[in-house]
Amino acid sequence: MILTVTLNTALDITYRVRGLRPHGTHRVSEVTERPGGKGLNVGRVLAALGHEVTVTGFTGGATGRTVRDRLAGTPGVADALVPVEGPTRRTIAVVDTATGDTTQLNEPGPVIAPAEWSAFQERYEHLLRSASAVALCGSLPPGVPVGAYAQLVRTARALAVPVLLDTSGEPLRRGVAARPDIVKPNAEELAELTGSHDPLQATRSARRRGAHTVVASLGAEGLLAENAAGRWRAAPPNRVHGNPTGAGDSAVAGLLSGLVEDLPWPERLARAVALSAATVLAPTAGEFDRATYEALAPQVAVTSEASAA
């Protein structure tokens, strides 16, 4: 079983309008709702790839009940979410069908009480005992300690469960110091962590700070990965245009599935890039088209070079 953690789950709502204009009134042509938050997105992709997945984190209120109801209809995904008193947040994506651009509005999430955080930690440690790998994903809701991911990384490592960390800011800085197996920042998050805007220097710096493998998402340029065994670049065959919502989460699913399947790093990265590109091209935000993914995977260019350290 692969475990994904989403401390700040969400109900993702997507509106489609033609010609988004500030201060204007818009007629919405389509509305979609789905369980969201990075770890839930990762879990959904992993399940579509054929893996057994358990998702955990916090959920509460009427929005949380909607999230759990929708999760119940997702094949291959088991719900181990921890109930809290505060309402689960909503994230609003407004897609301009004329340009393809997306405007995102993210609520902060419920305030988590100390007793709720303790209940989650107990659930997490119990779930880890039957997990082959764990992904720690996304932002922290109010009330959760800023060092939460560092603590969760240490718990996973104590139980010899490989851990992937995908977050940002101070939670990322503290989490990296706990020595996760993989971190997957984007270019902006990596620069904020290390102070360097050169991806090569930044990945090396992130490794020196504690990460065993750093996989940097460089947007349309694909992925840059480095660990003690080497350095690789992986890029899609062509620049893709569409809705990037969930593309990074699909890349995480590719990396995590490759880890549990013990694939060589070039194959893991090719899968991650193909899944990410197939998500950008999908008509529904945050989903991926399997036929597109299967067509793209053999075309991803992966080059390798010796690691600097």
Our answer to whether residue 69 is catalytic in this structure is: no
- Active-site residue, from 79, 96, 249, 289: 249
DSSP symbol at 141? P
Report DSSP letters for 198-263, one per residue: -HHHHHHHHHHTT-SEEEEE-GGG-EEEEETTEEEEEE-SS---S--TTHHHHHHHHHHHHHHTT-
Place of tokens 């984190």: 57
Q: Tell me the β-bridge partners of 301.
A: 235
Q: How far apart are CA 131 and CA 254, in angstroms?
A: 17
Are the C-beta atoms of 90 and 116 separated by less than 8 Å? Answer: no
Q: Are 194 and 176 in contact (CB under 8 A)?
A: no
* DSSP for residue 111: P
Instruction: Name 152's Cβ contacts closer than 8 Å, sequence gap at least 6.
Output: 5, 121, 124, 136, 163
Catalytic residues: 249
